[in-house]
């Protein structure tokens, strides 16, 4: 691939949102690998979902256990205890895996709505990774290995600075042999021509598709019927204002979302 050198090495910090449901060591390992390949620092953010705490505080709240389907009472202390245990386990796991890969690593916890919490913490990060949430995450098999997660990768290329950074990420993954399938969404003919000049990987199938505007509804409409491994979107500075849009994407496409700032 050919790319302007001024855009290279612009990814220094990656924020990964974690919850009790993303505690698979394989997923964390993949994120560590991603950070290693981008030579960036990785920060895990464990979200203690405030809505869950609220429900747990209701006097009649109950939990339907998995996989036995028993019903038992739920209280906020119990939820808090469990979340704390999960957070601690993930901190330890991330620390160990990062040390093995020689990746700088940090870990923090936050309380509040998931997406909003992540976005509020994301200002110092060039890349933010979010996972789909809610009901589907219980049963749906989450991809764990990096190769599974990123194939196919869908990248929206609008020619912006964030899009250039996205291209850098994709290059790094392609160079390491992890990426095999890439879909590039463009907004117009010019950006498609530009993209075709920039993305010339070997051993990667590249497919170009065009959307009318950089609108979440357009993206969902296009990708809903297609398989998407990882969605990379250029993000505006005020990401917090887009939380609803982000939730829509995650709920609709059920794939990890990588926001590039």
Partner 1 sequence: MKNSKLALSPDTLYHACDMSTLKFKTTEELEDSKEIIGQDRALEALDFGVGIKDDGYNLFVSGSTGLGKHTIVKHLLKTKAADLTKPSDWCYINNFEHPHKPKVLKLPTGYGSKLRDDMQQLVEDLLSAIPSAFETDEYNAHVKEINDELEETKDAAFLKLAEKSESENIALMRTPGGYTLGPMKDGKVLTPDVFEKLPKEEQDEIKEKIEEIEAEVSATIRKLPIWARESRNKIKLLNREVSQVTVEQFIDELRVNYESLADALAYIDEVKNGIIQDVDAFRNPGGDELAIPGMMKQKPSFTRFQVNVLVDNSDTEGAPVIYEDNPTYNNIMGRIEHMAQFGTLLTDFTLIKSGALHRANGGFLVFDARRVLTSPFAWEGLKRALRAHEVRMESLEKMLSISSTISLEPEPIPINLKIVLTGDRWIYYLLKKYDPEFNQLFKVAADFSEEIDRNAENTFLFSHMIASLQREQKFKPFEQSAVALIIENSSRKVKDAEKLSLHKGDLIDLLREADYWSGNSGHDVITRDDVQHALDTRIRRLDQLRERVHEQVLRGNYLLETDGEKVAQVNGLSVIQLGDYAFGRPSRITATARLGSGKVIDIEREVDLGGSIHSKGVLILSSYLANRYAQDQPLSLSASLVFEQSYGTVEGDSASVAELCALLSALSKLPIKQSFAVTGSVNQLGQVQAIGGVNEKIEGFFDICKARELTGNQAVIIPASNIKHLMLHKDVVEAVEKKQFNVYAVETVDQVMELLTGKKAGNENNKGAFPKGTINAMVKDQLTEMNRKRQQFSKQSKSDNDDEQRD
- List residues binding partner 1 (CB under 8 A): 20-21, 49, 51-52, 54-69, 71, 74, 79, 82-83, 86, 133-141
Instruction: Answer whether 259's CB lies under 8 Å from 128's CB.
Output: yes
Min dist CB 115 to partner 1, Å, is 13
Min dist CB 91 to partner 1, Å, is 16
Burial label for 70, CB within 10 Å (0-12, 13-18, 19+), is exposed
Both tokens of 229, joined, read 């491994």
Is the CB of 88 or the CB of 161 nearer to partner 1?
88
Is the CB of 57 or the CB of 217 nearer to partner 1?
57
Min dist CB 159 to partner 1, Å, is 35
Cis peptide before 68, with omega less than 30 degrees from 0? no
Is the CB of 21 or the CB of 192 nearer to partner 1?
21
Place of tokens 């990964």: 16
Min dist CB 4 to partner 1, Å, is 39
Min dist CB 113 to partner 1, Å, is 9
Place of tokens 């598709």: 209
Both tokens of 148, joined, read 């599974």
Instruction: Answer whether 126's CB lies under 8 Å from 11's CB.
Output: yes
Is the CB of 58 or the CB of 104 nearer to partner 1?
58
> What is the rounded CA–CA span in Å between residue 101 and residue 219?
35
Min dist CB 235 to partner 1, Å, is 23
Instruction: Answer whether 90's CB lies under 8 Å from 27's CB.
Output: no
Is the CB of 63 or the CB of 236 nearer to partner 1?
63
Is the CB of 71 or the CB of 217 nearer to partner 1?
71
Helix (H) or strand (E) holding 4: none
Helix (H) or strand (E) holding 93: helix 76-101
């Amino acid at each position: 691939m050919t790319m302007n050198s001024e855009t290279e090495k612009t990814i220094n910090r990656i924020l990964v949102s974690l919850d009790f449901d993303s505690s698979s060591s394989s997923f964390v390992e993949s994120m560590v690998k991603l950070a290693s390949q981008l030579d960036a620092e990785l920060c895990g953010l464990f979200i203690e979902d405030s809505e869950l705490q609220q429900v747990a505080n209701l006097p009649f709240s109950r939990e339907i256990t998995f996989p036995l389907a028993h019903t038992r009472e739920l209280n906020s202390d119990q939820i808090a205890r469990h979340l704390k245990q999960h957070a601690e386990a993930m901190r330890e796991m991330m620390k160990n895996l990062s040390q093995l890969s020689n990746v700088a690593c940090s870990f923090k916890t936050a309380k509040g709505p998931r997406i909003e919490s992540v976005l509020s913490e994301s200002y110092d990060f060039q890349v933010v990774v979010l996972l789909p949430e809610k009901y589907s995450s219980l049963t749906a098999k989450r991809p764990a290995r990096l190769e599974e997660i990123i194939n196919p990768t869908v990248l929206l290329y609008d020619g912006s600075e964030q899009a250039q950074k996205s291209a850098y990420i994709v290059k790094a993954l392609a160079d390491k042999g992890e990426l095999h399938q890439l879909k590039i969404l463009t907004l117009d003919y010019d950006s498609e021509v530009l993209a075709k000049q920039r993305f010339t990987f070997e051993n990667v199938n590249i497919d170009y598709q065009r959307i009318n505007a950089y609108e979440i509804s357009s993206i969902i409409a296009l990708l809903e019927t297609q398989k998407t491994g990882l969605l990379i979107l250029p993000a505006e500075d005020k990401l917090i204002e887009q939380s609803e849009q982000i939730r829509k994407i995650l709920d609709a496409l059920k794939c990890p979302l990588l926001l590039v700032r």
